[in-house]
Structure 1
């Protein structure tokens, strides 16, 4: 019998028969730890450190008969362990069902890809090519063997999802509000009134003085009546 012990919240992925258990026993079989863990419902992207008979090993390590495995959840580096430029390392790809989460992450300034036109295979290919972390509530997507970085989003409410992702990757101090286009993910920069005057109504030009433009799709932004609400959202998630 092979004994697998789970730590953190990994047991939320277990099938109904094993739901909530900390220890699961499997019949002896020659297979990798990764395959054994995924057979119980846990995506390999959620696996962190693994210990086999008290020795740290890779999830690809092959199990023999009667062995004991301890599996810990994936742990991200804390903000204090990252350089100032490390926020550039956190690029995301939200699956087709997480459009609202994507907009929140873009609002916070994080490079987040989203498209309703790509299927799962194409999303995975893009994530691999651009070194993006796949965000999904589809366990099957995260179990695809070639997926290197991924996270199963626990919450179902978009604002809570955003807070969850920011907390998981310790991004509270790296939020740069209004630096990315909510529509296309392009970078936003400030522009002089003269540069956008022809695209704005006289009322908008009269009421607002600070304008921003997306370098990619050329959409124009300004801090209007809705800015306070967006600021409140950011504060509710960051605590600042």
Structure 2
């Protein structure tokens, strides 16, 4: 007989194509938890906000029995986080990491970190692990993870701003290493500048971690568009 599970629209992307209407008849064995049953359908528990059993709240540890009707709801948006939220992005989200840094969000990233290292780093530094790998989100050891929706960086960036609504402090972080930027006098770094840059620019910032220099160069207008779009979305 089993149980009937209704999955909210925001979570149906995780279901097999035959279940994309959100209604699934699932077998139960009297031993497995409801959380295990939900994850067996492809839905990572970190993406689940509320489980309802016949209309009332129930925990993921509940052991379902035949005939029950379960509703699976997505996490609320904006999702509560430590203040301020700090993120760690996996290898496939480098562009999104740079955009988060551009708007002043603490976003760690490494393109050579395996799953175990990512989990350990997220746990030790209390960072929210952002990924599109459902397998890593199912690891019970991970303290806080989130699936990033979208196939393009624009979509992924917007999804994160919508989900977490982080405070924005544009132009305060190094897009290369996530370090903090500080203004620096031109005469201190003039010897490092190309002649054209020295001639055309007077305001500079320097990363306090990696010593990289920043100024309003050729790409500034495009970057400012990204910042302005993020601000509009944050206050929509």
TM-score normalised by the chain length of structure 1: 0.88
SS, match of residue 204 in structure 1 = helix
Which residue of the partner structure matches residue 182 of structure 1?
175
2:144 match? 149
Q: Are 1:91 and 2:86 matched, yes or no?
A: yes
Conserved? CA contact 1:28–1:66, under 8 Å: no
Between 1:53-62 and 1:110-119, the stretch displaced more is: 53-62
Residues 1:136 and 2:107 aligned together: no
- Per-residue CA deviations over 1:115-174 (Å, capped at 9, x if unaligned) read 112101110111111111111111112222222322222211112211121112123xx2
Distance 2:61 2:179 in 1: 38
TM value normalised by structure 2: 0.90
Alignment RMSD: 2.0
Q: Assess if the C-alpha contact under 8 Å between 2:78 and 2:163 holds in 1.
A: no
Unaligned stretches of 5+ residues in structure 1: none
Q: Distance in 1 between matches of 2:7 and 2:39?
A: 12
Q: Detail structure 1 runs of 4+ shifted over 6 Å in the superposition.
A: none
Contact 2:77-2:162 at 8 Å conserved across structures: no
Deviation at 1:113, TM superposition (A): 1.1
Are the aligned partners of 2:48 and 2:74 in contact in 1 as well (CA < 8 Å)? yes
Please, which of 89, 102, 106 is the counterpart of residue 101 of structure 2? 106
The answer for the alignment partner of 1:62 in structure 2 is: 63
Displacement of 1:70: 1.4
2:78–2:162 contact (8 Å) kept in structure 1: no
Q: Say how many residue pairs are matched.
A: 231
Q: Distance in 2 between matches of 1:237 and 1:180?
A: 15
**Residues 106 and 181 in structure 1, CA contact (< 8 A), matched pair in contact too:** yes
Q: C-alpha distance in 2, partners of 1:111/1:102?
A: 9
Alignment equivalent of 1:200, drawn from 147, 168, 193 = 193
For the 8 Å contact 1:104–1:159, the answer to whether it is kept is no
Deviations 1:185-205 (A, max 9, x none): 111111122332232234323
Question: In structure 2, the residue corresponding to 1:160 is in which secondary structure?
Answer: helix
Matched, 1:212 2:213: no
Gaps of 5+ in 2: none
